[in-house]
Amino acid sequence: AREYPLGDDHAGPDDSSAGEALGRARDKAGETATQAQGKAGDLAGRAQDKAEDLGSRTRDGASRLGNQARQQASRAGGGFQRMLNENPLAVGALAVGTGAAIGLAIPETSKEHEVMGEARDTVVEKAQEKAQDAQQRVQRVAEEAQGAAQQEAGNQGLTNQ
């Protein structure tokens, strides 16, 4: 087997062309790596821009939703306040009825049954009757008030009748 000494002074004819090919391959690999690095940087930049845009749109949307929720809560509070001012009896009857319904929905305890027994049942029945009577009276008054208001609005020419 033939031995070739290492180093540039001892390179044979095939060694120089192999070295040139190796240099060209190394240059090409470097160019490809540089191009890939540039493309990766561009992609990362675009991804960051899109993420920032998405984050901005998400913050804007959340802010709009928060504003809308505050406005609706304000309107609902105003509506309840208006109803309370215009129909205090109806609101009171509703509160009494709701309280009675909650109280009746809670099952009696064994101690309550032992102490109150039939007296509790009688009280519950009377409370239900009173709540129904109050609700009917409030409903009747509200209907009469609405009818009177509509009639007066008609008398004043405020309706299309």
Per the CB < 8 A criterion, the answer to whether 104 and 128 are in contact is yes
CA 91, CA 117: separation in Å to the nearest integer? 32
- Taking only the tens place, the pLDDT of each residue in 104-114 is 677 778 887 77
| 37, 41, 57, 131, 149 from 48: Cα distances, Å | 16, 10, 14, 64, 63
pLDDT value of position 91: 74
pLDDT cut 70: percent of the chain above it: 85
The DSSP symbol for 117 reads T
- Taking only the tens place, the pLDDT of each residue in 139-153 is 887 788 788 878 887
pLDDT value of position 8: 52
pLDDT value of position 110: 82
Q: Decide which of 14 and 100 is more confident.
A: 100
Greatest pairwise CA separation for the chain in angstroms: 126
